[in-house]
Amino acid sequence: MSVNAQIVSAGDALEVLRAGWSAQNEGKLTSSWMLHGRPGVGKTQVITDLAREIGAKLYDIRLTTIEPQDLRGLPYYDHDAKKTVWYRPEDLPDDETKPAVLFLDELTAASPNLQPTVYGLLQERRVGQHILPKSVFVVAAGNTVDDGAVAYQMGTALSDRLIHLQVNADAKDWLERYAVDKNLSPLVTAFLRSRPDLLDTTEQAIRRDEVIACTPRSWEKVSDIVYGIPDKRIRHTMVAGTIGTAAAAEFAQVATELDALVSLEELFETSRSKRYDLYPKSINGLVGLVYALVARVDEETISDAIDIIADLRHVEAPTLPLGEVTNFGFEILIRKSMSEGLAEAFRTSQSYQDYVKERAEASA
């Protein structure tokens, strides 16, 4: 059966779950949630980010690795009461005073024998005599049978207990809401801005019967490889083993171009009037510069970063969309600055005020 829920980006899924938690915390809604999506699309990261945001302890239970008794607990005969009692597992939250997120991962890949035990957690919020505290937010995740992963069809008895979200990879959302905040390598972010179609190639890989596909998770691993492996030959082999040879070949071309660019240190150390000769003269170079600035920005560099992005629109490169790159650069720099408590720098920056005035006049 197909998942006829609304398709959302990972960032939108986080917003929905955030709203669900707020409603539960206010006593207005108590439900369990289900994130459907291809492997590597970011489902686990969404739930991890939610737990961190709300200050909750994350109980991550991989349902493919446990048996029914691991959730139900083990029986113990109480001789005095002359009855069997059950010791609940330690993986279930029981603290009434602190928020917790109970994450039931790989739900659709779990053994059908386990699903009846899971029903109680998802609907009645209980297993045996153990009732989950009101401060526990319950969310599950899994793949569908069409995703090339091990999965069982979800029956109506299970699906009816959940609010479903279908998470899909969206390059714009991933780059702006996730990659920037995680300070992923500018080589990765600049490349995917020019090739958003390569963020998730799972469907094409399945169709071509290929083992390796590009996914948001694999691109994050590529970022780790770029940061950790300086030898380009070895790095390329690792990248090819992460996203496939075809995507790795395209990535290598852009990475070589960006590796040759001026360093941020040189830009920061050069006076503003002399920086123009140092700016890249290609679209990949300019986008890479923007992402590198945003990844590097802190209290000491924010003023220079604002000046550098503001001056992008005056670079001697008439064939490039300089205004678009400048606007995009300020969008992600402002967002990063707000999350880092650096937004005040925009109010006092003359170059940003000039940019805003210029845009207002152009749109008048």
Q: Which of 251, 265, 258 is nearest to 282 (CA)?
A: 258
Residue 41 has pLDDT above 80, yes or no: yes
- Domain 7-168 fold is Rossmann fold (3.40.50)
pLDDT digits (tens, 9 = 90+) for 116-166: 778 888 888 888 778 899 999 999 999 876 655 555 667 777 788 899 999
Q: Which of 67, 74, 176 is nearest to 112 (CA)?
A: 67
Going from the C-alpha of 175 to that of each of 182, 246, 291, 310, 332, the distances in angstroms are 10, 22, 10, 21, 9
Q: How far apart are CA 186 and CA 219, in angstroms?
A: 12
Distance between CA atoms of 281 and 276, rounded to whole angstroms?
10
Domain regions of the chain by residue span: 7-168, 172-363
Q: Residue 347: which pLDDT band, with cuts at 50, 70 and 90?
A: very high
DSSP-derived letter for residue 316 is S
- pLDDT score of 153: 67
Contact assessment for residue 48 and residue 58, using Cβ atoms and an 8 Å cutoff: yes
What's the DSSP call for residue 153? P
Residue 15, burial from CB neighbour count under 10 angstroms (0-12, 13-18, 19+): middle
Q: What is the pLDDT of residue 148?
A: 53
Report which DSSP code applies to 106. Answer: T
Quickly state the pLDDT bin for 308 (edges 50, 70, 90).
very high
Q: What is the pTM of this model?
A: 0.82
Percent of the chain with pLDDT over 70: 96
Q: Report the candidate in 306, 299, 298 with the shortest Cα–Cα distance to residue 352.
A: 306
Q: Measure the CA–CA gap between 356 and 352, rounded to whole angstroms.
A: 6
pLDDT in tens, 57-107: 999 999 888 877 777 777 778 888 888 877 777 788 988 889 999 999 998
